[in-house]
Amino acid sequence: MTLPQRSDSEIAAPIRCILSDVDGVMTDGRIVYDSDGVETKRFHVRDGLAIKLWMKSGFQFGILTARSSPMVTRRATELGIVEVKQGYEDKWPAATEMMKSLGCTPDQVAYIGDDLPDLAVMHHVGLAVAPADAARDVREAADWNLETPGGEGVLREMIERLMRSNRRWEEHLPRSA
C-alpha cells in the first residue's frame, strides 16, 4: 500500500529548527589549502540571507559538522548562529544535545546533509533533506531532494521552500512604493 503524499505545508508545519552539515551543504565539499597550508572555504551569500531570515522569523538554526574549522566559527558568528558543534563524526548524539539546547524535539527538526555520516541524524528527524549532489544513500534517505548542489545556495532553496509552504517567506519581501 502506498502512503498518500503529504504537501509541503503539512511537512513544514511542525519544523521549528534546521540543523545543517557544512562540507557539501554550506560549501561545495571541497577542502582547499593555499600555498601556506591554510584551509579555505567558500560560502554562498544567498544561504546566509536565508539563514538570517529563518532566524528572524523566530526559528532555530544550528551547525553540526564532523570536521573542525575556524572558517565555520567565523561564518556562524557573522550569521548570528549560536549553536555550532564541530568535530563530531558520530552526529546523532551531538544532534540530540543540540535539540535539547535549542528546545526542540526530533519531529520539529529538518536536517540537511550530503554524505554517510549524516544518515544517523536524517533517520531520526521530522524532515531529512539532501542537496542535488549528495551521495546516493543520502538522496534515497531524504524526504526532500533539492535541485541545488551543496555550496551553491542549497540552504536558500530549502529555507525558502519551508517558509513559502507556511506563508512566512512573503513577509520578508520588499514592498514596492
Residue with cell 536524517: 122
Which segments of the chain does DSSP mark as H helices, in order? 8-12, 45-56, 70-79, 91-102, 119-122, 136-141, 154-165
Question: In sequence order, which residues have a C-beta less than 8 Å from that of residue 7 and are 6 or more positions away?
Answer: 165
Binding residues for substrate: 23
Binding residues, as ranges, are 21, 23, 114
Please write down the HEC assignment for all residues of 93-141: HHHHHHHHHHCCCHHHEEEECCCHHHHHHHCCCCEEEECCCCCHHHHHH
Residue 99 in contact with residue 110, Cβ under 8 Å?
A: no
Annotated binding residues for Mg(2+), as ranges?
21, 114
